[in-house]
Structure 1
Amino acid sequence: MKITNHRAEELSTPLLDAWHRTMKESPDYGNPFLAPEFAAGVGRSRGGARVAVLHERGEPVGFFPYERTAFGVGRAVGLGLSDCQALVHRPGVSWDAGELLRACGLSVLEFDHLVEAQEPFGRYVTGTFASPVVDLEDGVGAAAGDGADGYAEWLRATYPGLAKTTLKKERRLGRDLGEMRFVFDERDPAMLRRLMRWKSAQYRRTSRMDRFARPWIVDLVESLFQVREEQFTGVLSVVYAGDRPVAAHFGPMSSTVFAAWFTAYDPELRYYSPGLLMHLRMAEAAGRAGVRVLDLGRGDKEYKDWLKTRELRVAEGFVTRPHPVATAHRLWRRPVRGLRNTVLAHPGLRKQADRLLKTVGTVRTRGSAPAGARPGSRAEGARPESRSESRSKGAAARGH
């Protein structure tokens, strides 16, 4: 087997077409995070993104996106942001993990959301985790029709346990602020920027790493928002009450899979459960659009237990070749992952950690910065929360 390497953002049109065909041929690889558009976006925004192309009899049959850092340390492309990682290949294609790493010039490759079908990587897996999904096959929601009545009918049929409470909150929100309106594919970039500001405030409020304080992530999201391809479309969805945005979500969508990614809401409206309202609206709209699966991503969250229809399994681990750099990297990274996974696996520890992080977050958000600073700038990272945000003690918005 011949393996060639390419910059992710410089793939030729024939290779892009072959990659898209491969995604269609193999249902396990239909996730938009496995599309060439995502790898190219990371390459343009951060640099270092590569694609190993596997060839048989002169034909491209597999595509492996990765990032190469110093000393031959590699990671799955978008590690820490991507909810799905794999070598995308045509049915029946086999490969050797060691040969792949040698062809890529890597001593070690780290992954944390590897799809279950990647058998050549199996012996390098250090843990597997549930990744909940919502099945939307047969155009769920289409039979209910469009508009508020159609949505209510779909909600009662699909989630009878949630329907009464959810519809009551939506009616109350409509009475308080104005008629409810959901836009599945909002094209206003100002709304995307508002979502990032909301999410930055949530990260600081809960003492998580503020992803949108990193300019390359802001650039990545803004560039993916512009992509409109069959196997990858950046979809911004917004719930409005009257003219006021209530909640927003941005995530990638392929022809078959819609990935839940960044969700946030106006913290003043937390008592209306806007994060849950957003996910229910997204599921109904995606089903009407013909999408088969809403991928909620790895992680234990109450709303995921409410919404999921089944679970996939994703893996984390380190593919290595005999090399001192590989040994050092594994010894450094594995204990960190192990400690995090131990906390996440025990509800009591997880709740204590969440309480501690929220307390720290309250202290962190008492700084000051010019209002309206752009996400990704130093000023935005230190932007003070509004009075309503400082008072907020509710649950964090769902998503990354």
Structure 2
Amino acid sequence: MTTPHPTRQGPLAGVRVVELAGIGPGPFAAMLLADLGADVVRVDRPGGPGLGIDPARDLTNRNKRSVVVDLKTAEGPATVLDLVDRADILIEGYRPGVAERLGVGPDVCLARNPRLVYGRMTGWGQTGPLATTAGHDIAYIAVTGALGMIGPDPDGPPTVPANLVGDYAGGSLYLVIGVLAALQDARTHGAGQVVDAAIVDGTAHLTTMIHGMLAAGGWQDRRGVNLLDGGCPFYGTYATSDGGHMAVGALEQQFYEEFTRLLGIEDIAPARRDFARWPELRAAVAERFLTRTRAEWTAVFAGTDACVAPVLSLREAPDHPHLAARRTFVEHAGQLQPAPAPRFSATPPTLRRGPALPGADTADVADDWAVPSLTKPGATAAPTPAPAVSTASTAPAGTADGPTRQEPSA
């Protein structure tokens, strides 16, 4: 096993990132880079992003530092460009054309720093008929076909998968992959570039395997009738006697045999290969699960290859024995939260700092990055504390200079 390096905190230690404050997938992508060791400086706007969340609780700003710069002043863009001079990556999530109007678009940034990777996080992308239109995760996954696949009832509405599929899987993770790939290219060839990470593109890319199955005749273009969308009686969720649920994923024959044996329905097990008997099989599985509590069924399937797990809530998940043993959730500054991922044998990432408070790190960043303009009068604006509430603002999304990819407010 590789011995962890004693001083490097994550594989991206030494990489400098400027994040122009936004909401949703942009901040999450920057958090992931920060978790992996990058020095992420978040450029907050006066008054904050308008989410209505206590900034001390906004975990997507952990491991970062914050400065406040008003990009609508004469001095603001120049200050950001001074940061750009010293950065490897910049991340922004404005609507197309807004960064250019503010004086921090890709052309001017790359002119100042030709090796810069300029990452653009949007919902619709930088081009196309909808590029400047407001939107949310649910709209992006709707038009890509992803939302239409999700849900157990072919005649009912799709199931909304929170904002995980679009914002964070199709958005944040693709932006991170893109800027890191471009950073590798910049370090090899000496020239940076613009990364256009659109949630619609990333989400469509996530459906590649399903498109292959569709083309091969192994997937019907309707939800709730396929192997992985709730249509299969041995790949889905079932209620227990106490109102809990169990998740079943016994796809392979050997796992299915273990599942039916432990569930006590071996007499109907041959129905696995008879589609006409799937409703009968589903009813038998549902009936059996209703005879015991979630805890009882968890004990029955514990340590087996039946591919069955209890459905836990967000508050319950950290106490699951496997997740607790791996420290999948950790506590930092009194706040329980998901640990950085993935894991590295030589340069393990750490939780170094709690959420960055707007403007709290201006002096430190000015010194560390050698950007004295950060502390000049007029270049920065005093931070305005955000309201200490835990619910999102209901302000309308899509202000003129707000993010292209709209979360509850912009």
Same fold (TM over 0.5): no
Give TM-score scaled by structure 1 length: 0.24
* Structure number with bigger Rg: 2
Q: Write 1 or 2 for the structure with the bigger share of strand.
A: 1
Give TM-score scaled by structure 2 length: 0.24
